[in-house]
């Protein structure tokens, strides 16, 4: 018997299933029908979820994932019939040998293979790099255009154009829906890792106004990265380092916000909430990842995350080692965000002169939608110098620029503390 949910539970379940099933469905159906019909397939999967919202009003089926998969398959076939683009092939999907072959594509190992094919298709060099990321976030993980705009710090209209260009290029160039081999694989893998890194980061520190942490996105990025780790031809030290980084960061998710979604800074986080099995898994993966002569961005970021996890208290943090890792990271991949983090580390080391030198090298506009972080850091610098007026001015700028409501509340609390300074 189906379970009768309340509206909130139903909406939450469908949203959860959409996050976890959209990429699977699109990938499998693309393998069946081909990349030429990708937009039709995406529309069909979208329609399936709309249909689910209506069909499940009086009860959610015992196996909602199987229901969605079959409904997506049926809806796609219906659409092709309407378009008369597959009028000869469509009837054979319902019975006979073709149906058996299609059903085999829904086995776990084939689902993983289909999704890997989609990941590498999204990162094909024929696509513009900006279009690659937008397309991957949409097709693999079901991001909406607004979510992609937030993740990529750009406008929705730009995302719409990128998605259209990517689909047109894939169709016109008749790209193969396949996992590349040899040198082509090694050339394409960095972009794949960048996309998974972006998906995880949007979950770990969301750009949405109402929500700071989105665990389902972190889980989705980890699931996709684990597929790379488990594929012996695809796995590499960089893949292992990225997965280690995800494990280390995900281990702290439960301590980042409280039940009211209020931000808890690292100093105040309850370290007993850190998830030890994920830390162990990250350490195991990192042990394999360092078996290389060339360290990547993911190696250094994982090393930094690991240093925080090693400390039993905030006061026990080895800031000197963290600074060392940031300096090495800055050599490999210079970034204003790295500079800002180095300034934070200098403040924690009470080396305010070094912190100011680094802060002076950062152009806040280079941080785009996260420029408020610069002003928040500057407020902390002035606060440590006991310069109340400058600290208040800086924190006020940060408050004006921040878009996430929970981060705004956190900054307002910091402002109160600065105001109370003597």
DSSP string, 94-155: SSSHHHHHHHHTTSHHHHHHHHHHHHHHHT-TTS-HHHHHHHHHHHHH---HHHHHHHHTS-
Do 243 and 331 share a domain, yes or no? yes
CB count within 10 Å of CB 248 equals: 26
- In angstroms, the Cα distances linking 75 to 44, 55, 113 are 6, 14, 23
Q: What is the reported pTM? A: 0.81
Rounded to whole angstroms, how far apart are CA atoms 361 and 358?
5
Do 316 and 248 share a domain, yes or no? yes
Retrieve residue 402's tokens: 């921040």
Confidence of residue 341 (pLDDT cuts 50, 70, 90): very high
Rounded to whole angstroms, how far apart are CA atoms 334 and 353?
21
| For residue 140, pLDDT beyond 60 | yes
Retrieve residue 116's tokens: 């890997």
Q: What is the DSSP letter of 312?
A: S
Tens-place pLDDT, residues 168-204: 998 888 888 888 888 888 888 998 998 899 888 888 8
| For residue 399, pLDDT beyond 90 | yes
Q: Which residue has the tokens 């160039």?
A: 173
Retrieve residue 358's tokens: 């680094």
What is residue 312's predicted lDDT score, i.e. its pLDDT? 93
Q: Are 192 and 119 in contact (CB under 8 A)?
A: yes
Burial-class residue 174 by CB neighbours within 10 Å (0-12, 13-18, 19+): exposed
Range scoring the smallest mean pLDDT among 31-40, 188-197, 344-353: 31-40
Does 315 fall in a domain? yes
What is residue 75's predicted lDDT score, i.e. its pLDDT? 74
Does 284 fall in a domain? yes
Q: Which residues contact 120 (CB under 8 A, 6 or more apart)?
A: 178, 179, 180, 185, 188, 192
| For residue 306, pLDDT beyond 70 | yes
Tens-place pLDDT, residues 107-126: 667 778 888 899 899 888 88
Do 325 and 395 share a domain, yes or no? no
Confidence of residue 39 (pLDDT cuts 50, 70, 90): confident
Radius of gyration of the chain (CA): 24
Q: Are 230 and 223 in contact (CB under 8 A)?
A: no
Helix (H, G, I), strand (E, B) or coil at 61: coil
Do 331 and 368 share a domain, yes or no? no
| For residue 346, pLDDT beyond 80 | yes
What totals of helices (H) and strands (E) does the chain contain, helices first? 20, 0
| For residue 95, pLDDT beyond 60 | no
**Furthest C-alpha separation in the chain:** 81
What is residue 1's predicted lDDT score, i.e. its pLDDT? 39
Q: Are 166 and 104 in contact (CB under 8 A)?
A: no
Please, which residues bridge with residue 3 across strands? 60
What is residue 96's predicted lDDT score, i.e. its pLDDT? 47
* Helices of type H across 311-422: 319-332, 336-348, 352-360, 372-384, 388-401, 405-419
Do 371 and 284 share a domain, yes or no? no
What is residue 79's predicted lDDT score, i.e. its pLDDT? 67
Does 52 fall in a domain? no
Question: Between the ranges 8-22, 169-183, 287-301, where is the mean pLDDT highest?
Answer: 287-301
If you average pLDDT over every residue of the chain, what do you get?
Answer: 85
Burial-class residue 7 by CB neighbours within 10 Å (0-12, 13-18, 19+): exposed
Mean pLDDT of 289-310: 95
Mean pLDDT of 290-300: 93
Do 331 and 374 share a domain, yes or no? no
Does 184 fall in a domain? no
Confidence of residue 278 (pLDDT cuts 50, 70, 90): very high
| For residue 103, pLDDT beyond 70 | no
Range scoring the smallest mean pLDDT among 95-104, 116-125, 244-253, 295-304: 95-104
Does 325 fall in a domain? yes
Rounded to whole angstroms, how far apart are CA atoms 19 and 144?
11
Retrieve residue 185's tokens: 């694989």
**Residue 292 lies in domain:** 236-254+269-335
Mean pLDDT of 310-315: 94
Do 409 and 318 share a domain, yes or no? no
Please, which residues bridge with residue 257 across strands? 263
Range scoring the smallest mean pLDDT among 53-67, 174-188, 246-260: 53-67
Do 331 and 240 share a domain, yes or no? yes
Confidence of residue 314 (pLDDT cuts 50, 70, 90): very high
Q: Which residues contact 46 (CB under 8 A, 6 or more apart)?
A: none
Retrieve residue 229's tokens: 């780790």
Is the pLDDT higher at 130 or at 402?
A: 402
Does 309 fall in a domain? yes
Mean pLDDT of 133-146: 84
Do 312 and 375 share a domain, yes or no? no
Does 211 fall in a domain? no
Counted domains in the chain: 2
Q: Which residues contact 234 (CB under 8 A, 6 or more apart)?
A: 116, 179, 185, 189, 228
What is residue 97's predicted lDDT score, i.e. its pLDDT? 47
Do 366 and 312 share a domain, yes or no? no
| For residue 2, pLDDT beyond 60 | no
Question: Between the ranges 27-41, 179-193, 214-228, 229-243, where is the mean pLDDT highest?
Answer: 229-243
Does 324 fall in a domain? yes
Mean pLDDT of 201-221: 76
Domain end residue (candidates: 296, 316, 335) = 335
């Amino acid at each position: 018997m189906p379970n009768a949910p309340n509206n909130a539970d139903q909406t939450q379940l469908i949203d959860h299933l959409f996050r976890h099933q959209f990429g699977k469905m699109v990938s499998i159906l693309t393998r069946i029908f081909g990349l030429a019909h990708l937009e039709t397939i995406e529309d069909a999967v979208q329609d399936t979820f709309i249909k689910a919202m209506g069909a499940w009003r009086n009860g959610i089926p015992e196996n909602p994932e199987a229901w969605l998969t079959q409904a997506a398959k049926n809806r796609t076939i219906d659409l092709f019939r309407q378009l008369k683009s597959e009028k000869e092939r469509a009837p054979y999907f319902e019975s006979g040998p073709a149906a058996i072959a299609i059903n085999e594509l829904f086995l776990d190992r084939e689902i993983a293979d289909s999704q890997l094919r989609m990941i590498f298709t999204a990162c094909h060099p024929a696509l513009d790099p900006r279009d690659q990321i937008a397309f991957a976030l949409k097709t693999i993980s079901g991001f909406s255009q607004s979510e992609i705009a937030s993740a990529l710090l750009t406008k929705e209209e730009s995302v719409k154009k990128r998605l259209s260009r990517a689909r047109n290029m894939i169709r016109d160039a008749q790209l193969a829906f396949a996992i590349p081999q040899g040198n082509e694989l090694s050339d394409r893998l960095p972009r794949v890792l960048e996309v998974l890194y972006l998906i995880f980061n949007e979950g770990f520190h969301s750009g949405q106004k109402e929500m700071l942490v989105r665990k389902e996105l972190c889980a989705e990025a980890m699931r996709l990265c684990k597929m790379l780790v488990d594929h012996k031809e695809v796995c590499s030290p960089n893949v292992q380092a990225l997965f280690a980084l995800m494990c280390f960061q995900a281990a702290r998710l439960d301590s980042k916000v409280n039940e009211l979604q209020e931000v808890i800074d690292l100093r105040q986080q309850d370290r007993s909430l850190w998830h030890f099995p994920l830390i162990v898994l990250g350490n195991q993966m990192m042990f394999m990842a360092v078996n290389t002569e060339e360290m990547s961005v993911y190696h250094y970021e994982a090393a930094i995350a690991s240093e925080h996890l090693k400390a039993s208290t905030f006061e026990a943090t080895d800031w000197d080692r963290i600074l060392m890792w940031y300096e090495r990271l800055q050599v490999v991949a210079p970034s204003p965000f790295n500079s800002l983090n180095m300034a934070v580390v200098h403040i924690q080391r009470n080396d305010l002169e070094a912190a100011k030198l680094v802060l002076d090298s950062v152009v806040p506009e280079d941080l785009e939608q996260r420029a408020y972080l610069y002003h928040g850091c500057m407020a902390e610098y002035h606060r440590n110098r006991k310069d109340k007026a400058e600290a208040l001015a800086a924190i006020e700028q940060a408050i004006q620029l921040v878009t996430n409501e929970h981060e705004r509340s956190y900054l307002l609390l910091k402002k109160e503390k600065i105001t109370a300074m003597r």
